Amino acid sequence: MEVLRTENPEWQGRLKSILDRMTSVPAYVDESVRQILKAVQERGDAALAEYTGRFDGFDPVPDGFIVSEDRIAAAAAGTDPDVYASLQKAAFRIESFHSHQRERSWIVTEDNGMILGQKITPISRAGVYVPGGRNAFPSTLLMNVIPARIAGVDEIVVVSPTPGGVLNDSLLAAAHIAGIKKIYRIGGAQAIAALAFGTQSVPCVDKIVGPGNIYVAHAKRLVQGRVGIDSFAGPSEILVIADEGADPGIVAMDLMSQAEHDPMASAILVTPYETLAAAVIERIDEAAKTLPRRDVLEKSLKTYSLCVITQDLDEAFSVANMVAPEHLELMVEGAFGMLGKVRNAGAIFLGYHTPEALGDYIAGPNHTLPTGSTSRFSSPLGVHDFIKRSSIISSSEKATRELGLAAVKIARAEGLEAHARSVEMRIK
């Protein structure tokens, strides 16, 4: 794990090289995704079947693209009781947290009779992409489906790849808990194309949410505008600010909990305490050899992970705000008192006893978070992602007379005469 010191003027350049790792898409990815989108748009199910055979290694035609309600229910019944109970507990907590995000329509009436307001309407149909196969994430299904349900979305279309045709029972159990009646067994850019354009089997949706690999992320980027999307998801990230009271072994494991996701995942420790930094790096070197995803860990830690030694804790927060990480752990004394120093982060974990993994599974807030420094302007997935806001305006004759002349003057200042006359005809 590389060590940088902020006293070295070159440290920001190295940090920037890591933060910029997802700003450009390789040409071969772009070309492949564009071909897939075009093929699915033009040939529908035939193209879906072709790509599923090529990338997932099975022919979906004999059994169809849909995992039925009966199969989902059977998987739920056969799931380990402890796992099922844990998924139920997670679902309850996710629902409880996101229930606070509900928005309501409102209307106000001014003294002159002008009525203004905002109408909240759920989107009609949402598409949820859930990674599948060996790396299936039942927690991701819960995190994406439950806010949509709370928002009041009429139809939730779940897609998930099944490499080799193998279904993941834990994922199906999560679907059962979340009230999903069927899942489309498709993945990759072709699944995004199906959701965006619709096929003979898969309905088109209004918005697509959920994480995926670089092909999925780029496909979402290319169909944005035709449909809404949640964000441009990239590899997972964690930044830990730690003081001398932090346990080096715990800090090390928290960093590795994200590095094990992906070879391009980023784990960054920021601290003014060199002794702590050295101890954390030593623990990482020891523990990485014992973890099952060692190859992934080593690539992430070697290429995209850092330890930044700062002058003091204030500078550590400046570095964190520059990075704008997906996950930010404050492993410092009096963490709540330092919350005001945080400007950019997807999720903030406060104190020595709050591992990021708790937020991934059971705490309640959403784990679909802005990556790639986009927490500068983006937020975690939530109920708000599944609603639309419409403005309401109703003007009385009195209000139009009071406000109309100003509207006329602004319209003519902009050179839009028809705008001006449409108001003027009412106040004359």
Q: Choose one of 180, 208, 229: the last residue of a domain.
A: 229
Residues with Cβ within 8 Å of residue 183, at least 6 apart in sequence: 66, 67, 72, 158, 159, 160, 172, 175
Nearest to 303 by CA among 25, 17, 27: 17
116 and 14 inside one domain: no
Q: Choose one of 229, 251, 268: the last residue of a domain.
A: 229
Nearest to 209 by CA among 23, 385, 90, 33: 385
- Tell me the sheet residues that pair with 237: 266
User: 410: which 2 tokens?
Assistant: 């602004």
pLDDT value, residue 24:
74
In a domain, 387, yes or no: no
pLDDT digits (tens, 9 = 90+) for 196-245: 999 999 999 999 999 988 899 999 999 999 999 998 778 889 999 999 99
366 and 411 inside one domain: no
Report the distance separating Cα 161 and Cα 140, nearest Å: 14
Mean pLDDT within 327-355: 97
> Does residue 176 carry a catalytic annotation?
no
**Which is more confidently placed, 73 or 22?**
73
> Does residue 7 carry a catalytic annotation?
no
Could you tell me the CA-to-CA distances from 90 to 7, 12, 367 in Å, in that order?
Answer: 44, 39, 12
pLDDT digits (tens, 9 = 90+) for 83-124: 999 999 999 999 999 999 999 999 999 999 999 999 999 999
Domain that holds residue 406: 395-427
Report the distance separating Cα 158 and Cα 181, nearest Å: 9
In a domain, 362, yes or no: yes
Q: For residue 180, which phi and psi values (nearest 5 degrees)?
A: -85, 130
Active-site entry in 237, 260, 326, 329: 326
211 and 241 inside one domain: no
241 and 194 inside one domain: no
80 and 172 inside one domain: yes
pLDDT value, residue 213:
87
289 and 150 inside one domain: no
Q: What is the mean pLDDT of the chain?
A: 94
336 and 245 inside one domain: yes
pLDDT digits (tens, 9 = 90+) for 266-282: 999 999 999 999 999 99
Active-site entry in 176, 218, 261, 327: 327
Report the distance separating Cα 6 and Cα 10, nearest Å: 8
312 and 204 inside one domain: no
Q: What HEC string does 270-295 produce?
A: EECCHHHHHHHHHHHHHHHCCCCCHH
In a domain, 384, yes or no: no
218 and 241 inside one domain: no
Q: What is the CATH number of the domain that holds 215?
A: 3.40.50.1980
86 and 141 inside one domain: yes
15 and 124 inside one domain: no
In a domain, 319, yes or no: yes
Provide the pLDDT confidence category of residue 133 given band limits of 50, 70 and 90: low
What is the tally of structural domains in the chain?
3
92 and 222 inside one domain: yes
